[in-house]
Structure 1
């Protein structure tokens, strides 16, 4: 019993197919002289060729019917597929089918639909696609359509930025010629030695008298000044600014007190109060 039911269901499924009847097309030229021909859509490649110009209108009409009842059927989906075998471009145009199964489509080349793919001199294969939950899907070849070639797409001003650019080749200047190390060392020594030699020579020529420079009252002040010089040297070598400020604040306080004591001792010496 189950086998009989399965056979009946299979037979019903095979019988539930769609067909296209009364298919025809007409080309209306700018002069208003239509040329109408009938079509025989099938699953095999069609030998029908249709040519339309820039000012022509292609009118297509057909009716979708049930192959068993021969009654009009409104499929859930109906599309026209325009396919260019040469470029691989395709466009899908939805078709509105009435409840009676009748459908019409007009292709006006003066205002072509956006779904029409860009074309060259090759024809577009026009295929009718039908789909419904209750029927077997159908793919029916209609004709080969020749239409005027598309104009080339305008070049975007930024298109060149999306292509591979030529490799950049840098030209570097030759490294500068350095003098010999002996010459560099000689001039570096002159820069370091000459100022100090000049200072010492002038100092000896003046002959300053500093008999109390290393006295117990003056030596702390002299040492604090030397500590400041050493702090600046350490800052130049490895210390950070925060460390220099911290150490400098402490040395500043010490230098102020030692300096005041040194000045007081010198003043007492001049006034004769200190022996």
Structure 2
């Protein structure tokens, strides 16, 4: 029994180790083979350049305004043909490091990849550069490592008229001067200052004016307007809740306005008004209804 279990464990251990060895052998680095770059001109002779991951194209490839650079190769994952998740041709200006990418068209089964590049595909800044470095970027999900391989240099060739137009366009896109990347001026955000209260002397003047008006109103209320405090017990008996609540709500509203003027913001003031307002409306309607009932009886 013990020997049988040990033999089974040995078999499964050997199987797992063998599988891991095969997986490790299968995984590798994304690379390519059978690569060449062909410069095809309309009505002219095509020039072909061979290159590999270890041997880039010697010298610079001249790309005229009517030429088309055709790059073709076979993408491989380790020793097998494959299709990576990312396959780009990187064109970079060596001094400024300004670069752009061009995706390759890759077939899924055979790994055959190709791309065509002409003057219309290059930005104005790169098109007027003395020389561009070409690199191939391959990478995907999984254990295989990505790779960036320099495959050569191209030299865009422009006639004087086209070069002048592109230089003008480059200055328009990047701004005046030779610096491509430069620090911008500091942006300072200036927010509107908080509203200030008026001077205290003005506030005190209007406060005294309001108090004087209220005092004058109470002075003329009894002899001229017919104020009568003898009806207060009858009013409180007829509406014991409405009259006190209405009077308290009016004082609360004045207190809310005072707090808004001194400390509170608009949101706090609106919240207070939302609480006191309905109380004043409901109790005031009941209190004024009771007053009207007494007035209709001829009681003042």
TM-score by length of 1: 0.50
Q: Does 1:129 align with 2:141?
A: no
Separation in 2, partners of 1:82, 1:107: 10
Distance in 2, Cα, partners of 1:56 & 1:95: 19
- Residue 35 of structure 1 pairs with residue 47 of structure 2: yes
Equivalent position SS for 1:127: strand
For 2:131 and 2:89, how far apart are their aligned partners in 1?
15
Greater Rg over alpha carbons, structure: 1
Question: Is 1:94 matched up with 2:103?
Answer: yes
1:85-164 equivalences in 2 (<5 Å) = 85-98=94-107, 99-109=109-119, 111-112=120-121, 118-119=125-126, 120-132=128-140, 133=142, 135-147=144-156, 150=166, 151-154=169-172, 163=185
Range moving further from structure 2, 148-157 or 71-80: 148-157
Q: What SS is found at the alignment partner of 1:135?
A: coil
CA, structure 1 residues 155+131, in 2 after alignment: closer, same or farther (shift >3 Å)? closer
- Look up the match of 1:243: 211
Distance change (3 Å), C-alpha of 1:164 and 1:127: same
Report if the CA contact (8 A) 1:86-1:122 is conserved: no
Does the 8 Å contact 1:84/1:90 carry over to 2? yes
How far apart, in 2, do the equivalents of 1:245 and 1:137 lie? 87
1:55 aligned residue (66, 77, 80): 66
Shift of 1:86: 0.7
Which residue of 2 is the match for residue 12 of structure 1? Answer: 24
Structure having the larger proportion of residues in helix: 2
Question: 2 CA distance for matches of 1:22 and 1:59?
Answer: 14
Matched-pair contact (CA < 8 Å) for 2:89–2:102: yes
Deviation at 1:125, TM superposition (A): 1.5
**Which secondary structure state, in structure 2, belongs to the residue aligned with residue 136 of structure 1?**
coil
Give the TM-score normalised by the residue count of structure 2.
0.47
Contact 1:48 1:142 in 2 (8 A): no
Q: Does 1:78 align with 2:75?
A: no
- 2-side partners of 1:63 and 1:38: how far apart? 13
Give the unaligned 5+ runs of structure 1: 166-234, 258-275
Change (3 A) 1:250 1:135: closer
Q: How many aligned positions are there?
A: 178
Residue 176 (structure 1) aligns with: none
Aligned residues: CA RMSD: 4.1
Q: Which residue of 2 aligns with 1:270?
A: none
Shift of residue 7 of structure 1?
11
Counterpart position of 2:273: none
- State how far apart, in whole Å, the 1-side matches of 2:153 and 2:174 are: 33
Alpha-carbon shift at residue 131 of structure 1 (Å): 1.8
